[in-house]
Amino acid sequence: MSHAANDDDELNSSDIEFGPAPMSRFAYAGKKSIDKMLGTASVDRLESKKASKHLQMTAKSPNTQYAVTLWHNRFLEFRRNTLEITNAETATPNGEQIEGFLASIVKHVKPLSGGVPNYDWLRTGLGRLIHACVFHYTDFKLNPTDHSRIAAVIETLLREGKLTKKVKRDKTWLGSHLHVLLASALGARAGDITKGKHDVHDEAFLAYEDLRISIVNGQGIESFIMMVKLRNQKGFKGDGHNVASAKLSMLNDPTTNVVCPVKIMLINALRSGTVKEKTILDLVQNTSARRDRTNGLLGKLCRQAGIIPKVRPHDMHRGETKDIANLPAKDLSMAAESQMTFKTPFLPPLTTPNGYLPPTTPRTPRQVDELCAKYGMNPSIPKDRARATHKAESDAQAAWRAETNYVDTTKVATADSVTQGTDSGTARTNTKQTKGSIYEDDGSEEEYENGDAYDAAATMSY
């Protein structure tokens, strides 16, 4: 035992060579791109240095980028000319310079509505300025004392009357009700009337200038119609050569006032002061007396200045709701289809008073087992369990349609009866359905494997 212990004491692990470590299974990851980088190393070195020198401040929104650049330009000229700093472009600013700039800028910027600048405007501008300084000056930093003194400057300007907290413009809630109403009446997708986060072209939304109300074939309120231009349909955003239009007529039944888009738009125009008339009767009378008999009140919302309150597209976005159902794409646009149904009274309506409400809670494993037993499927096979669930959902929708006496005229099932001989000499008839038909669903394995019945049930919305 003592001899073994002596051997361990004489062993020095540092003297042992273990050899190179085994190669990682990902040792050659990125080899192709690395080889290309090595081949253009000198060129890449110059281009990367040039890109770093010419880098400019950017932001996700062009409006944000403009605001940051605006405040930085103002501050830079203040330091260069007022403070007479010769190297203002490279010298790092400090908190004292920002204090002097804030006290000075309020005297040179006048709001369009007159009076003194707004308190929130200056605080927002300060945030833009700090953002710009962090980007342009490596050593820029404000300590707690600087923050406290800058806040004191803003509060002092407010007390001296050089800033105000009064609201310059009353915000108009051009509401979620109006938004949903327009989307429903036009059969539009959410992206057809609202701006997406990646849209970069101008007016990527339904603007007020796209709406026009006129009086035709009459003198009363029932003669109002509204023409709507859809400039941002899917696949044609920003394409001025593909603009769809829809005509919305006034609903004369008083019980439908809350779902009449024409009346709701007129009410918003009267309440917001967009038109000089105070009542709907005065509006009808004055509009009928005009030579062109055209009511351009909605176009004025974005063309005229000085409207009280001034309505902007953001007022519609304030009331945006998140539960607008995306309607399925069809060969015939929903706007044209709705007009066709309106003009042809022999077709069934596309909506029902009682909408279909799918289950809000997932089914338990026991419930899925019961569905498998009901439809003759193996509960131990996950694929069969999914089929049983889809089949139950399809049956629930079919039961809802039967209760509401609803018939979808856009889905026409065709039957191709083919008589085939069997081994016993008997004959049988196979009925084939068109793709997407879910009303005579027999749960056949071919139909579910193709995904036709499930896709149609999953994408249709009512």
pLDDT digits (tens, 9 = 90+) for 7-35: 556 767 777 777 788 888 998 999 999 99
Report the distance separating Cα 274 and Cα 317, nearest Å. 19
Q: Which residues fall within 8 angstroms of residue 379, CB to CB, at 6 or more apart?
A: 368, 369, 372, 373, 385, 388
Q: What separation in angstroms does the CA of 191 have from each of 196, 210, 353?
A: 7, 15, 26
177 burial type by CB count under 10 A (0-12 exposed, 13-18 middle, 19+ buried): middle
Helix (H, G, I), strand (E, B) or coil at 246: strand
Sheet holding 224-230, edge to edge: 244-249, 224-230, 211-215, 294-295
The conformation of residue 190, written as its DSSP 8-state character, comes to H
Helix (H, G, I), strand (E, B) or coil at 9: helix
Per-residue model confidence as pLDDT tens digits over 404-437: 665 554 444 433 433 344 343 433 333 333 333 3
Per-residue model confidence as pLDDT tens digits over 278-293: 777 787 777 665 544 4
Per-residue model confidence as pLDDT tens digits over 178-234: 667 777 777 666 666 666 555 555 566 666 677 777 777 666 667 778 887 777 666
The tokens describing 337, both together, are 């289809």
Mean pLDDT of the 77-82 span: 95
Q: Name residue 225's beta-bridge partners.
A: 214, 249
140 burial type by CB count under 10 A (0-12 exposed, 13-18 middle, 19+ buried): middle
DSSP letter for each residue of 347-398: SPPS--SS-----SSPPPHHHHHHHHHHHT--TTSHHHHHHHHHHHHHHHHH
Whether residue 57 contacts residue 132, with contact meaning beta carbons closer than 8 Å, is answered with: yes
Report the distance separating Cα 125 and Cα 116, nearest Å. 15
DSSP letter for each residue of 217-233: S-SSGGGEEEEEEE---
Half-sphere exposure for 363 (CA within 13 Å, toward CB): 16
Is residue 170 pLDDT above 80, yes or no? Answer: no
Per-residue model confidence as pLDDT tens digits over 30-69: 999 999 999 999 999 999 999 988 998 888 778 888 999 9
The pLDDT assigned to 332 comes to 42
